[in-house]
Amino acid sequence: MSEFRIEKDSMGEVKVPKGAYYAAQTQRAVENFPISGITFGRPFIQALGYVKKGCAEANMDLGLLPKEIGSVIVQAADEIIEGKFDDHFPIDVFQTGSGTSSNMNTNEVIANRATELAKENGSGVKVHPNDHVNFGQSSNDVIPTAIRIAGGLGVKNDLIPALNYLADAFEKKGKEYAHVVKTGRTHLMDAMPVTIEQEFGGYARQLRLGAARVESSLGRLLELPQGGTAVGTGINTHTEFGAKFAEKVSSYTGMPFTEAENHFEAQSTVDAPVEMSGQFKTIAVSLMKISNDLRWMNSGPNSAIGEIQLAALQPGSSIMPGKVNPVIEEATNMVCAQVIGNDAAITVGGLNGNFELNVMLPVVAHNLLESIRLLTNTCHNFADRSVSQITVREDVIKEKVGRNPILVTALNPIIGYDLAAKIAKKSYAEDRALLDVALELTDLSKEELEKALDPIKMTRGGITD
């Protein structure tokens, strides 16, 4: 038997794999874009399912789509949402800039599956991909709507919880070692002391601010372009369709989606995804700072800082036995680099809104959703395989703090900057304890100096008395 069947569209006949639910327009796109081999993943396909279900139900409610046709479209769309037909979405993400190919891919799969369901239930209606599944829609509002649905769900359900999960891990580890005072560092040089809890609390705050930044951008991402059709005017759709559609999708997802306040803005730009991507970039910058701090603190372990010990997860060298590397932090840094690169691609995508349509929608969708996935997975991995397993080397830290000449800063209010600097330099040059040098060069007693130079007291701020 032949492995192909013949399908027709407005341009003629096309050979399509026999078992495929998609049809001619999808096959043309497969042949036209053999570029990366990267296809849309579950979140975007699911979002397309939500779009088609919401459109069908809204149009049935408005009396514009027959119930016997709309009901099987909804059934087929539900199966798309559940992931039953992901293998039937083969189009490369580098395709037509409007994403028309992916919209028609969805229309064809749903039309063929809905026709199959109609046959099973006895109605026998034939569902058309354009006339029925795509009724009252255009790729120009479907694809940007799917971007916002997928992005909004990914941010709310995955990324924000993941950022808070990692922040929790840092706070928990900080409390575990709240009693440990370590040397602070500025310019990579020894500075005044801080506690492990203070340092890790700073990391947690970075992550919670990242979650708050994303949350602050979410409302603008939740405005849906659906209902603007071809150019934002709403041609060939009901005037109440956009609002009703947003209500439907909100009921499916539990997210407060709304109709776009201005369809011309919503379809001609991807400003909301660009803004959200900018927040992802900021999170990536925060994560790389945190990750690199842990790499420095773990460095050595004998010839460098060596204040903490990261979990030994795998051999670090094919030639040096016993070497163990900070692999989770290195993977985290690579993810951060990718997210920053994704933001650059999304930014360029945003620049390509011409008149009534942006023509880089698929690459914006792919990069936005990839950033959500990478940051979400990395936060969980970082928390579970690194932060929660950190061991603080208290003996090393204590020895380093005691030899830190910068502690003399606490004496500034008592003896003045110039004498304090002299003590610090002599202590460093002679490799002597700061306390011993201060006893020689000041009139302060040992008890007074021990009180003033107590590292834990210095971490609480204020003026030395």
What is the token pair recorded at 278?
A: 């900018």
Q: Which is the catalytic residue, given 187, 217, 366, 371?
A: 187
pLDDT more than 90, % of the chain:
94
Which pTM does this prediction carry? Answer: 0.96
Domains and CATH numbers, the chain: 20-135 (1.10.275.10), 148-221+269-394 (1.20.200.10), 403-458 (1.10.40.30)
Query: HEC states along 174-217?
Result: HHHCCCCEEEEEECCEEEEEEEHHHHHHHHHHHHHHHHHHHHHH
Q: Which is the catalytic residue, given 36, 216, 251, 317?
A: 317
Active site includes 277? no
Burial code of 82-91, b = ≥16 C-beta within 10 A, e = fewer? eeebeebbbb
Average pLDDT over residues 367-384: 98
pLDDT digits (tens, 9 = 90+) for 390-415: 999 999 999 888 788 889 999 999 99
Active site includes 187? yes
With 90 as the cut, is the pLDDT of residue 290 above it? yes
**What's the pLDDT band for 192 if we cut at 50, 70, 90?**
very high
Compute the half-sphere exposure of residue 47: CA atoms within 13 Å on the CB side of its CA.
28
306 sits in the region (left: phi over 0; alpha: psi -120 to 50; else beta) called: left
Residue 400 pLDDT: 87
Average pLDDT over residues 281-305: 97
Average pLDDT over residues 427-454: 92
Q: Compute the mean pLDDT over every residue in the chain, rounded to the nearest whole number.
A: 96
Residue 402 pLDDT: 79
| C-alpha triplet 329, 334, 335: angle, nearest 5° | 95
Tell me the longest C-alpha to C-alpha distance in the chain. 102
Residue 2 pLDDT: 74
Q: With 0-12 CB in 10 A as exposed, 13-18 as middle and 19+ as buried, what is 402?
A: middle
With 80 as the cut, is the pLDDT of residue 277 above it? yes
With 90 as the cut, is the pLDDT of residue 433 above it? no
Average pLDDT over residues 412-440: 92
Least Cα distance to 277 among 359, 368, 350 occurs for 368
- Say what the alpha-carbon torsion angle 429, 431, 437, 441 is, to the nearest 10 degrees: -10
With 60 as the cut, is the pLDDT of residue 1 above it? no
With 90 as the cut, is the pLDDT of residue 224 above it? yes
* 8 strand-pairing partners: 13
pLDDT digits (tens, 9 = 90+) for 234-258: 999 999 999 999 999 999 999 999 9
pLDDT digits (tens, 9 = 90+) for 136-189: 999 999 999 999 999 999 999 999 999 999 999 999 999 999 999 999 999 999
Least Cα distance to 224 among 201, 204, 190, 249 occurs for 249
**What's the pLDDT band for 108 if we cut at 50, 70, 90?**
very high
**What's the pLDDT band for 26 if we cut at 50, 70, 90?**
very high
Residue 463 pLDDT: 84
